[in-house]
Amino acid sequence: MVDSWERARHILREAGLDPGRLAHLRPLTGGTYNTVEELRLTDGNRYVLKVPPPATTPGLRHERRLLVSEAEFYRSAAGVEVPAPRLVTLRDDFLLMTACPGEAWDDTLTDAEHLTLRTGLGREAARLHRVTGPGFGYPSGALGPLAPDWRTVFTTMFDAVLDDARRYGARLPRPVDAVARTASSAYGALEEVTVPCLVHFDLWRGNILVDRSAGGPRVGGLIDGERMFWGDPVAEFVSLALLGDIREDEAFLAGYREAGGRMGFDTPVRLRYALYRAYLYLIMLTETVPREAGEEHQRWVQERVAPELVAALDEIEDAAAS
């Protein structure tokens, strides 16, 4: 087994940084896929190193070359000055990036601070969605090359996670074939999406750093962009309101619109929003099998995530019927 310090020094050397200046190394927790470490140099600069698991590690079909997508997110975010890590070096076996200021969003914020941050987050999301890509899909190519047709790409993404659910025997609240039928009734709404926009797709609170160094809290960094794809901006709102409903987040929506984001919830948008919720919740339910989730997490997923999948499918059925 390669020593962590030895590996870190080797990677710093590859990145053109002096490995002799490595002063501190600590593992970062919270992720469930890659190995993540913070590297601090003697000059005070901090970097984050991600190392993927071995290729033989069980996973979902879209979980190949995730670091490629993450690097693309950081390049794109830098272009619109959204706070995020800056890419240093990408290789097949590691990603090195700068560290962002702040700590993970937690429950210590006052109500006023929370509203201020949600409004600021809305502005940052709108800036992200100004970035357009060369085609729809995952930059990693995990499910095929980028394509000009969002309906084809997203149905491929949805089918892939359904195949994963079958393959791993995931416990779902409805049979896989029933989920597929309900989803397919909404696929026509996907044809309205013609511009591939930058979508992080994992902006829950744990991936949003809150920086207090300048006084009041602000968004210090949007991190862990490995789930990024080029797609429909509406898909972003799922993780931004994880296990909730972005339509009830007035502060976020105000910031989003203020920064030029377009938002309305007519029937096609409602169908797409429900589809993307179903997609993420299917991932969350299915990944517990290859990741060998513990009993407590499995219970949480069944109690909290499974009902949200049912609610998304019910909304598709209701909206499609209307």
pLDDT digits (tens, 9 = 90+) for 90-99: 998 999 999 9
Distance CA 152, CA 137 (A): 10
Contact in structure between 224 and 202 (CB atoms under 8 Å): yes
Distance CA 279, CA 295 (A): 23
* Share above pLDDT 70 across residues of the chain, in percent, rounded to a whole number: 98
Radius of gyration from C-alpha coordinates of the chain: 20
Contact in structure between 82 and 222 (CB atoms under 8 Å): yes
Looking at this protein, which amino acid is placed at residue 59?
A: G
Contact in structure between 288 and 297 (CB atoms under 8 Å): yes
The residues, ordered by sequence, that sit 6+ positions from 103 with a Cβ below 8 Å of its Cβ are 209, 210
Distance CA 136, CA 154 (A): 9
CA 2 to chain centre: 29
Asked if pLDDT for residue 1 goes beyond 60, the answer is: no
SS3 letters across 185-216: CCHHHHHHCCCCEEECCCCCHHHEEEECCCCC
For the segment 166-191, the average pLDDT, to the nearest whole number, is: 97
Neighbouring-strand partners of residue 47: 39, 98
SS3 200: coil
Residue count of the chain, please give it: 322
**Residue-wise pLDDT tens digits, 276-313:** 999 999 999 999 999 999 999 999 999 999 999 999 99
Distance CA 196, CA 132 (A): 6
Neighbouring-strand partners of residue 209: 104, 221
Q: Taking the model in full, what pTM does it have?
A: 0.95
